[in-house]
Amino acid sequence: EAGVVQSPRYKIIEKKQPVAFWCNPISGHNTLYWYRQNLGQGPELLIRYENEEAVDDSQLPKDRFSAERLKGVDSTLKIQPAELGDSAVYLCASSSQLDGKGDEQFFGPGTRLTVL
Amino acid sequence: GQNIDQPTEMTATEGAIVQINCTYQTSGFNGLFWYQQHAGEAPTFLSYNVLDGLEEKGRFSSFLSRSKGYSYLLLKELQMKDSASYLCAVKGFNKFYFGSGTKLNVKP
């Protein structure tokens, strides 16, 4: 079974430029998460989707970040414009509430963003 | 507020046993997870506790005390490949909170 797929794996941009990350969750997983992880820190939740509905976006900086999950499958996270402080690894994860493990999350490999 | 505390870094010897502690204060509790994360890689699931007690899975065990807001991850027969960060995560009311992780260094 394929895992969570993310692209690109690495992205280097100049500040004030836009950037987008893409995530394809595990087939059948209705819950999708976007996290940001800074070096030496744990993942910080940005947004969580249940199917196509964003049920928790309280930590998403809405002035510059946006996300969508059309048709409740793939998702895109966008930053516009990027700032130096946005440099981090952006992780996508998915889970199924039916797996009996209380929402065990499966993580993608992440996108390492560097803003110059 | 939400708070998850774990030691920043630990060092242990190959073949030994190490215990990584996690204390938490969160809004609601619906389970505690431990994840392993090697440098530059994504976190991978290790264990899940929702009831008090010990869950054993091979060389890894995880313990939970809900009344004390406390968990630990026990790694036995340490191997060099166990060098990684170990993340404690708590599921509150439909929200996940991750600790900053404990970097474990296993030395020969």
What integer pLDDT is reported at residue B2 of this predicted model?
79
Average pLDDT on A32-43 reads: 94
Interface residue of B62, B96, B102, B103 to substitute, partner A, most A CBs within 10 Å: B96
What integer pLDDT is reported at residue A70 of this predicted model?
83
Are A25 and A72 spatial neighbours (Cβ–Cβ below 8 Å)?
Answer: no
Which tokens go with A105? 């999350």
Whether residue B94 has pLDDT greater than 80: no
Min Cα–Cα distance to chain B from A109, Å: 5
In the sheet where B3-5 sits, what is the strand order?
B3-5, B18-25, B70-75, B60-65, B53-57
Average pLDDT on A68-75 reads: 90
Task: In whole angstroms, give the CA distance from residue B16 to residue A113.
Answer: 37
Task: In whole angstroms, give the CA distance from residue A22 to residue A6.
Answer: 6
How does DSSP classify residue B103?
E
Whether residue A102 has pLDDT greater than 70: no
What integer pLDDT is reported at residue A47 of this predicted model?
95
Task: In whole angstroms, give the CA distance from residue B27 to residue B12.
Answer: 34
With CB atoms and an 8 Å threshold, state whether A41 touches B100.
Answer: yes
Average pLDDT on B45-63 reads: 94
